[in-house]
């Protein structure tokens, strides 16, 4: 999806995205290390914990955006209108998150 949406092309040269293990090989990505938790070395467990603590917040924000029925039901309008609808839902999500944040503190891994 990241490749098709061209979000990677829109990123600034120094930016990287926090993604899941499905994006191995993507240059602009910070990826968890594959393997079962108990078989990973301690440094890899710490690395994966840091990445997953950021990813869980992203997933929660995506869930907030999806709360509007317009994004859950089949789209019956002109496809050209879909980006506009998504922007509207995203802006509503931003307002909601400003007044009702997912976290009341900064993620320590991002400081």
Predicted confidence (pLDDT) per residue in 4-38, tens digit: 777 778 888 888 888 887 777 778 888 888 899 99
Query: Closest by alpha carbon to 53, among 1, 102, 6?
Result: 102
Say if 83 falls within a structural domain: yes
Question: Tell me, what's the pLDDT at 7?
Answer: 78
Residue 90 domain-assigned?
Answer: yes
Residue 15 lies in a domain: no
How many domains is the chain built from? 1
Q: What residue numbers bound the domain in which 81 lies?
A: 54-110
- 39: in domain: no
41 located within any domain: no
Q: Could you report the per-residue pLDDT of 33-81, keeping only the tens digit for each?
A: 889 999 999 999 999 998 888 888 888 888 888 887 777 788 788 888 8
Rounded Cα gap, residues 54 and 60, in angstroms: 10
Asked, for residue 9, whether it belongs to a domain, the answer is: no
Query: Which token pair is 30?
Result: 């910070």
Question: Which region holds residue 26: left if phi is over 0, alpha if psi is between -120 and 50, else beta?
Answer: beta
């Amino acid at each position: 999806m990241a490749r098709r949406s061209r979000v990677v092309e829109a990123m600034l040269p120094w930016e990287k995205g926090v993604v899941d293990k499905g994006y191995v090989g993507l240059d602009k990505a910070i990826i968890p290390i594959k393997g079962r938790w108990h078989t990973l070395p301690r440094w890899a467990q710490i690395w994966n914990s840091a990445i997953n603590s950021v990813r869980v917040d992203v997933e929660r924000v995506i869930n907030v955006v999806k709360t509007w029925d317009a994004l859950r039901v089949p789209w019956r309008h002109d496809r050209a209108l879909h980006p506009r609808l998504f922007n509207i839902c995203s802006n509503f999500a931003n307002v909601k998150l400003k007044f009702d944040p997912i976290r009341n503190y900064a993620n320590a891994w991002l400081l």
